[in-house]
A and B are shown apart, each in its own frame.
Chain A
């Protein structure tokens, strides 16, 4: 019991980082983490051993899917490009580029990529979180990387020209 709580507590900073990348909004991200913690503590009795960290990532990923599903049912308020700062140069530009590139990914691909490169989960752990075979995780990763590369190679000059 105490060990369970300690493991949950120790994972909070990493959950915040993952949620931040998923939502691109620190308030929404912290809401998501809070909901994840509430859910985890309530379902503690359903947790039958295993890796607490993977389990928390699973809950957070599913909650975020639910969030996106409910957003999809509302009319879009503003396309991502509208939030662009006019200046694409400078040290912040790289960060915004990758942010936009990530936003173009299919949700499952984005989750897989972030879990691997940002959160350092193994392929096996990501497979567990996403509830799919490892082969599916690898193809999601591969597609995500192709898509980001295409976006960064082609998308950025196009945006610059528009400006």
Chain B
């Protein structure tokens, strides 16, 4: 569009209309545009686009903020939700205690009848990730503030001594956890999030399969690292950014690893 030797680059034209140029460059570009009608027309069309966008949506900022978006309201409502969470978590703990034995028996029956392959854990975990990661108000059954209770509850349901990794050192807060149906019975699912709202989950299910190396799977949006260690399948899921997910996996792995043998 603009030839390479031009004293004004296309980037500068964008910066020009977005107010990102220094005052002297502003003047230089204005002068240059006066002699380049084709580029001037292009710049005018971009300005017109911006005007249409502002004309279409700009007025929304002047509308009165509805009651439910007032900060006091949001704060109060969130506190109320927090209370009901705690109550529900307590109720869930009692139910888990009562039905725990029976569920364990069903889980054994399932796993014997349908031995699951390794990849099925990643598939299930990614489905759960996609389903729950979009939940804002009810992403988990037990909030992260009740880590001890959650660990005990989920360990009991899986019949395994689970560890819930602490990932604060890499900026991830534990949102909480939930119980899920898995290929071999119960599965435990913990959710973490960083300060910008990106979420990562860890999925654990019993697996009567030999220990494996670390595997990676990804589509355009989401990715997972998964492995089996000591009869538990672990799946770490998150947005499809391998480097970032590797960091999370490494931190989580170091905390659940019981043998210390596997290297990332």
Contact = CB atoms under 8 A, between A and B. Distances in A.
Interface of A: 5, 8-9, 12-14, 16-17, 20-21, 26, 29-30, 33-35, 37-39, 41-43, 46-48, 55, 58-59, 62-63, 66-67, 69-70, 73, 94-95, 97-99, 101-102, 113-114, 116-118, 122-123, 131, 138, 141-142, 145, 148-149, 152
A43 B195 contact: yes
Nearest to B59: A17
A26 B56 CA distance: 13
Given A95-B55, A98-B52, A73 B68 contact: no
Contacts of A145: 14, 46, 49
Interface stretch (B99-107, B114-122, B130-138): B130-138
Interface residues of B, number: 48
B2 to A, nearest CB: 11
9 contacts: A13-B63, A17-B61, A38-B74, A43-B193, A69-B134, A95-B52, A117-B54, A138-B14, A141-B14
Q: Is the interface of B mostly helix, strand, loop or mixed?
A: helix
B196 interface: yes
Contacts of A39: 136, 197
B20 A131 contact: no
A120 B68 CA distance: 26
Contacts of A141: 14, 18
Nearest to A10: B71
A59 B197 contact: yes
A8 B18 CA distance: 25
A113 B78 CA distance: 32
B239 to A, nearest CB: 9
A34 B74 contact: yes
Contacts of B171: 46
Contacts of A67: 134
A108 to B, nearest CB: 12
B160 interface: no
Contact of B56 (A5, A37, A99): A99
B95 interface: no
A66 B238 CA distance: 11
B74 to A, nearest CB: 5
Interface string B17-55: 010100000000000000000000010011001101111
Contacts of A118: 53-54, 57-58
Given A94-B52, A149-B42, A149-B49, 13 more contacts: A17-B58, A21-B57, A46-B171, A47-B195, A55-B196, A62-B196, A62-B198, A94-B56, A95-B55, A99-B56, A118-B58, A145-B49, A149-B45
Given A46-B195, A47-B195, A58-B196, A97 B20 contact: no
Nearest to A47: B195
Contacts of B74: 34, 37-38, 41
A34 B68 contact: yes
A152 B138 CA distance: 41
Contact of B75 (A41, A63, A66): A41
Nearest to B241: A131
A19 to B, nearest CB: 9
B60 interface: yes
Interface string B143-170: 0000000000000000000000000000
A120 B61 CA distance: 13
A21 B53 contact: yes
A114 B63 contact: no
| B15, B61, B77: residue with the most chain A Cβ atoms closer than 10 Å | B61
Contacts of B55: 94-95, 98
Contact of A42 (B78, B131, B221): B78
A49 to B, nearest CB: 11
